Amino acid sequence: MPLPTQTVRFGPFQLDLRAAELQHNGTKIKLPEQPFQILAELVAHPGEVVTREELRQRLWRSDTFVDFDHGLNTAVKRLRELLGDSAEDPRYIETLPRHGYRLMVPVEKPEPFASPIFRAFLRRRKTWLAVSVLIIAAVVAGVLSRQRLIELFRPVKVESLAVLPLENLSGNPEEEYFADGMTEALITELGKVSALRVISRQSVMQYKGTTKPVPQIAQELRVDAVVEGSALRTGQKVRITTQLVQANPERHLWSESYERDLSDVITLQREVTHAIVREISVTLTPQERVSVSAARTVNPDAYEDYLKGLFYWSQRTPESLRKSAEYFQQSIAKDPSYAPAYASLAEFFQVSSQYGVLTSKESLPKAKAAAMKALALDDSLAEAHAALADALGEDYDWKAAEAEYRRALELNPGSARVHYLYSLGFLTPLGRHAEAIAEMQRAQELDPLSLIISANLGTTFMLDRQFDQAIQQCRRTLEMDPHFVPARGALALAYEGKGMLEETIREMQKVLADSYAPQTVSQLARAYALAGKRAEALKVMAELNQLSGRAYVSSYDVATVYVALGENDRAFAELEHAYDEHSERLIWLGVDWRFDDLHSDPRFQSLLRRMNLPQRGSEATGRK
Query: Average pLDDT for residues 256-274, to the nearest whole number?
Result: 84
Residue 355: pLDDT band by 50, 70, 90 thresholds?
Answer: confident
What is the per-residue pLDDT for 53? 80
Q: How far apart are CA 147 and CA 609, in angstroms?
A: 63
Query: Average pLDDT for residues 38-50, to the nearest whole number?
Result: 87
Residue 617: pLDDT band by 50, 70, 90 thresholds?
Answer: low
Find which of 215-229, 259-273, 310-324, 396-410 is predicted with most confidence, using mean pLDDT. 396-410
Task: Provide the β-strand partners of residue 162.
Answer: 226
Task: Provide the β-strand partners of residue 197.
Answer: 160
Please state whether 203 falls in left (phi above 0), alpha (psi between -120 and 50) or beta. alpha
Helices and strands in the chain, H and E counts: 27, 14
Least confident residue range of 30-39, 227-236, 290-299, 469-478: 290-299
SS3 content of the chain, % helix, strand, coil (to 5): 60, 10, 30
CB 297, CB 276: distance < 8 Å: no
Closest among 382, 385, 429, 402 to 288, alpha carbons compared: 382
**Which letter does DSSP use for residue 447 in this model?**
S
- pLDDT score of 58 more than 60: yes
What is the per-residue pLDDT for 33? 79
Is the sign of the CA dihedral 275, 279, 280, 285 positive or negative? positive
Q: Taking the CB of residue 591, how many other CB atoms lie within 10 A of it?
A: 23
Tens-digit pLDDT profile for residues 377-388: 999 999 999 999
Q: Are strands 197-198 and 160-163 parallel, antiparallel or unpaired?
A: parallel
Mean of the per-residue pLDDT values for the chain?
A: 84
Q: How far is CA 486 from the centre of its chain?
A: 18
Q: Is 238 helix (H, G, I), strand (E, B) or coil?
A: strand
Q: How far apart are CA 326 and CA 592, in angstroms?
A: 36
- pLDDT score of 572 more than 50: yes
Report which of residues 82 and 503 the model is more confident about.
Answer: 503
Query: Average pLDDT for residues 121-149, to the nearest whole number?
Result: 48
Residue 144: pLDDT band by 50, 70, 90 thresholds?
Answer: very low
Question: What crossing angle do the helices spanning 68-83 and 33-44 adopt, rounded to 10°?
Answer: 80
Encode 591-611 in three state secondary structure. Answer: CCHHHHHHCCCHHHHHHHHHC
Q: Kindly list the distances between the CA atom of residue 293 and the CA atoms of 184, 254, 269, 290, in Å, as whole numbers in the listed order.
A: 18, 20, 10, 5
Report which of residues 110 and 204 the model is more confident about.
Answer: 204
What is the per-residue pLDDT for 60? 61
Q: Kindly list the distances between the CA atom of residue 366 and the CA atoms of 119, 313, 373, 418, 579, in Å, as whole numbers in the listed order.
A: 84, 17, 11, 20, 18
Report which of residues 109 and 122 the model is more confident about.
Answer: 109
What is the per-residue pLDDT for 262? 85
What percentage of residues in the chain have a pLDDT greater than 70? 87
What is the per-residue pLDDT for 66? 47
Report which of residues 298 and 291 the model is more confident about.
Answer: 298
Residue 118: pLDDT band by 50, 70, 90 thresholds?
Answer: very low
What is the per-residue pLDDT for 142? 53
What are the phi and psi torsion angles at 609 (to 5°)?
-65, -45
Task: List, as one string, the DSSP characters of 548-578.
Answer: TTTS---HHHHHHHHHHTT-HHHHHHHHHHH
- pLDDT score of 5 more than 70: no
Q: How far apart are CA 67 and CA 169, in angstroms?
A: 11
**How many residues belong to the chain?**
624
Query: Average pLDDT for residues 272-296, to the nearest whole number?
Result: 75
What percentage of residues in the chain have a pLDDT greater than 90? 44
Element (H, E) at 10: strand 7-10
Least confident residue range of 303-317, 392-406, 425-439, 582-596: 303-317
Q: How far apart are CA 272 and CA 211, in angstroms?
A: 24
Report which of residues 154 and 457 the model is more confident about.
Answer: 457
Q: Is 425 helix (H, G, I), strand (E, B) or coil?
A: helix
Q: Is 16 exposed, middle or buried (0-12, 13-18, 19+ CB in 10 A)?
A: middle
Element (H, E) at 304: helix 300-313
Least confident residue range of 177-186, 258-267, 510-519, 581-590: 510-519
Q: Taking the CB of residue 70, how many other CB atoms lie within 10 A of it?
A: 23
- pLDDT score of 442 more than 90: yes
Q: How far apart are CA 158 and CA 467, in angstroms?
A: 37
What is the per-residue pLDDT for 114? 37
CB 443, CB 227: distance < 8 Å: no
Task: Provide the β-strand partners of residue 10.
Answer: 13, 107
Sequence letter at residue 30: K
What is the per-residue pLDDT for 77? 86
What is the per-residue pLDDT for 343? 95
Q: How far apart are CA 595 and CA 563, in angstroms?
A: 7
Q: Kindly list the distances between the CA atom of residue 502 and the CA atoms of 433, 474, 475, 562, in Å, as whole numbers in the listed order.
A: 28, 18, 17, 19
Tens-digit pLDDT profile for residues 388-418: 999 999 999 999 999 999 999 999 999 999 9
State the Rg of the chain over Cα. 30
What is the per-residue pLDDT for 384? 95
Q: How far apart are CA 36 and CA 18, in angstroms?
A: 11
> Please, what is the Cα angle at 250 between 246 and 251, to 5 degrees?
70
Q: Is 77 exposed, middle or buried (0-12, 13-18, 19+ CB in 10 A)?
A: middle
Closest among 298, 296, 239 to 263, alpha carbons compared: 298
Query: Average pLDDT for residues 250-256, to the nearest whole number?
Result: 82
What is the per-residue pLDDT for 63? 42
What is the per-residue pLDDT for 147? 46
What is the per-residue pLDDT for 518? 80
Tens-digit pLDDT profile for residues 169-214: 887 888 899 899 999 989 988 888 888 899 998 899 999 888 888 8
What is the per-residue pLDDT for 582? 85
Residue 138: pLDDT band by 50, 70, 90 thresholds?
Answer: low
**Which letter does DSSP use for residue 314 in this model?**
T
